[in-house]
Amino acid sequence: MEFFNPNSNVDFMRIRRVSVVVALFLVIGSIVTLATKGLNFALDFTGGTLVEVEFDRPVSQSQVQEALSAAGLEGAMVQGFDVSSYAIRLPPSEGGSTQAETDAAAAAAESAAAETGVPVAPGGELDARNAAVAARVVEALAATGAEVTVLGGGFVGPQVGQELATNGLIAVLVVITGIVIYIAMRFEWKFGIATVVGEIHDVVVTLGIFALTGRDFDLVVLAAVLAVDGYSVNDKIVVFDRVRELFRNTTKLSPAEVVNRAINSTLSRTIMTAVTTLLTVVSLYVFGGPTLQGFALVIIIGIIVGTLSTIFLSAPLLLRLGVAKQDLLPKARDEAELARRP
């Protein structure tokens, strides 16, 4: 199946100077956004409290969210297991994260639980802090008109959140390092630089746009960022493979013409891959609920940005680095070395 004629000759490289400048502005704008507004780190990284509840009848996720907001529990994240069971994550401002807040929660737990009569399912263990928070949650969810049972709860302290953030950063660095090693082994260094620069552009711009949305950045979203990183590299390698093939099989085309022909001949594959992947992640965004919306949004942004950067940033950068047919030919042995041989 071909959406575009593989023998077409759209001159993408004609606007390469403009496209590189636009890409540079996008990166600078994203860095400024990340530095000023920053990412809205979720409970995974900041710490907070998790309360699992079950209703005696089906209750929609929107009803749960509205009941919590009406009770003043702002920033609560609701994840549905089925139509009557939910996990509610509360930020540190609601669940408490410092030692002083822990002591205060422990002191208030007994009276709060006694006043509200928090029903806890068998096997659901709650410490003082979680009991106090669960009491507030049960009181808020009474507005739904259903009977609420607390299945259990847990607390993610700031130290654990910091550890998760550190491990997440290490994971990103390991992935990027592995990709750089792979590219260095498979391609000539000019291809490698163009790929890595495009990869960094895609991740930074994706994070910048995500920061603008103000959505929670959690471990699921971090996984999506790593997926975007892999998608970006894959898309660029497909085009660069065709560039390398054309350089080896043609003699009369200039480097700009080779890059243009490589982009045109792989455009159908690029569009089909992007569209089919977008259909999946858009479905996740629409039907997956709030828990998966952040993950899906990052993938959607990353696919669009990654596809465009392959054509309008990495390919022009490859030309700027002076790629030529000679770069892909076997290196001639040093004549002086050969002369010394008998």
Segment among 132-146, 193-207, 234-248 with least mean pLDDT: 132-146
pLDDT at 36: 93
Distances (CA, A) of 240 to 159, 191, 247, 310, 323: 44, 7, 10, 9, 11
Between CA 89 and CA 86 the distance in angstroms is 10
**Domain locations in the chain as residue ranges:** 12-41+161-328, 48-156
Question: Considering the domain 12-41+161-328 in this protein, what is its CATH number?
Answer: 1.20.1640.10
Residue 214, pLDDT above cutoff 60: yes
DSSP E strands in the chain: the ranges are 40-41, 48-55, 77-80, 85-90, 148-156, 216-217
Q: Residue 307: pLDDT band by 50, 70, 90 thresholds?
A: very high
Q: Full-prediction pTM beyond 0.85?
A: no
pLDDT at 116: 45
pLDDT tens-digit map of 69-80: 888 887 787 877
Residue 99, pLDDT above cutoff 90: no
Q: Does domain 48-156 have CATH number 3.40.109.10?
A: no
Q: Residue 304: pLDDT band by 50, 70, 90 thresholds?
A: very high
Between CA 268 and CA 276 the distance in angstroms is 12
